[in-house]
Amino acid sequence: MTGLKKAFIIATGTELLLGSTIDTNSDFIARRLMEAGVKVIGRIIVGDQKEEIFAAFALGAQLADIIISSGGLGPTKDDLTKETACEFMQVKPEVVEEEVTRIRDFFARRHKPMPENNIKQAMFPREAIILANNSGTAPGMYLYKDQKTIIVLPGPPREMKKMFLEEAEPLLKEKLNLTGKKAVSRVIKVFGPGESQVEEMIKDVMDDPQGCSFALLASDGEIHVRITAEGEDQQASQRLLDGLTEKIKADMGAYIYGYDEDALVSVVAGLLRDKGLTLAVAESCTGGYLSKTITDLPGSSAYFWGGAITYSNEAKNKLIGVNDQTIRDFGAVSEETAREMAAGIKKTAGSDIAIAITGIAGPEGGTDTKPVGLVYIALFSDEKQKVYKLHFNSHREGNRILAVKSALDIVRRYLCEK
């Protein structure tokens, strides 16, 4: 079988629908399929009801050559994915004794008896290839019939990833003659302009996509531009992708902070580490969120001195030396206060760079002259002292997130200029 295959991904589980669990499995599967030369044309999340799962397989079979599901392979009554896939493909599962023995051994190694309902995990149609699960009790299934390939995988991400990499992916490449990826993609990460602004800035590229596809995703002040290129082979696709990327870089310049898996904070961390510089922060409206974001990265003590959460006026004065008169004259949310906060934390820390944030996160506290979402961010170094006045139009948590990301981006741009 040759040619560009199409795939449809199904994630099952009511917890995914309710948002209590995030569907990371489909993201992983989609990336791996793309790298194998398979085009993902659809993804869906469905609950644990048999009718919903059946409809998802029917839709997948209508649109794609390959349907891959994750979840619903457990031993309970609401784990129905494999049974529903078999019903859809009109094959009959039966007990496979070797799998029963494997599951019993799994429980025996943990000194536990196997509940009898686990036997349903050992039931497969004769037409299927069983995908081994060395991390749990639920084997997967690879089934090809009527020119359609169905793969069912367990829901726990650790089990799913191991099974996909070690069992499903090699079978796909062998059975479907996937000699290598043809499509390649890249995510260009932008901070600053909004979605419509980004679209306008790269309008010339989007108007002449050269056979590539574009998707713009807005996320907490960031715009992610995903480009997917499909050429005659991987090398041709990569050349096409690189050419379009260079054009977008020329159009967007410093608004681009990274690519693919880059995060704004990790980019800033890399620049600080590479330049051997240290950072200290003083936070008011963000309440320590900037410090948390930085220290979420392992090894951040190499470049992050620490910070002060100066939420009250008294804390601003006693911890980092903001003058009481400055606050009385200009207010806690002002250019002057932000400036003294940055100067104060830099003096206390002796760091190379200091960042201060003060603002009105909301929903209360705003006035006509100082509305909710007003934020001042000050950057101080030996070479540069500047205060940025910003206005955000989000809810309390959104304003705090945007303030933190803006502060990181200010540091990033400063470091890139050094």
Reading phi first (left if > 0) and then psi (alpha if -120 to 50, else beta), residue 80 is in alpha
What's the pLDDT tens digit per position in 67-103? 999 999 999 988 999 999 999 999 999 999 999 999 9
- Each domain of the chain, given as residue ranges in start order, spans 5-175, 183-259, 264-417
| Distance linking the first and last C-alpha atoms of the chain | 54
Q: What is the largest CA-CA distance in the chain?
A: 82
Q: How far, in Å, CA of 7 to CA of 9, rounded? A: 7
Amino acid at 405: K
Phi then psi dihedrals of residue 296, to 5 deg? -65, -20
The structure tokens 């206060």 sit at 337
pLDDT at residue 2 in the model: 42
Return the amino acid letter for 206. M
Going by their DSSP bridges, the two strands 5-12 and 66-70 should be labelled as parallel
- The pLDDT > 90 percentage for the chain reads 81
* Domain 183-259 bears CATH identifier 3.30.1330.10: no
pLDDT tens across 109-129, in order? Answer: 888 988 988 999 999 999 999
**264-417, superfamily in CATH?**
CinA-like (3.90.950.20)
- Say if CB 86 and CB 72 are below 8 A apart: no
Alpha-helical (H) ranges within 67-168 are 81-89, 97-109, 157-163
Tell which residue, 402, 389, 323, 331, has the closest CA to residue 362: 402
The rounded distance, in Å, linking the Cα atoms of 418 and 415 is 5
- Domain covering 5-175 assigned CATH 3.40.980.10 in the classification: yes
Predicted local distance difference test score (pLDDT) of residue 271: 98
371 to 284, 290, 363, 365: CA distances (angstroms) = 16, 22, 10, 8
| pLDDT attached to residue 232 | 75
CB of 40 closer than 8 Å to CB of 172: no
Tell me: the pLDDT tens digits for 209-263? 887 888 898 988 999 999 988 777 778 888 999 999 999 999 999 999 999 989 9
Q: Which amino acid does the sequence have at 331?
A: G
The label of the residue with tokens 């004769």 reads 126
Q: What letter would DSSP give residue 233?
A: S
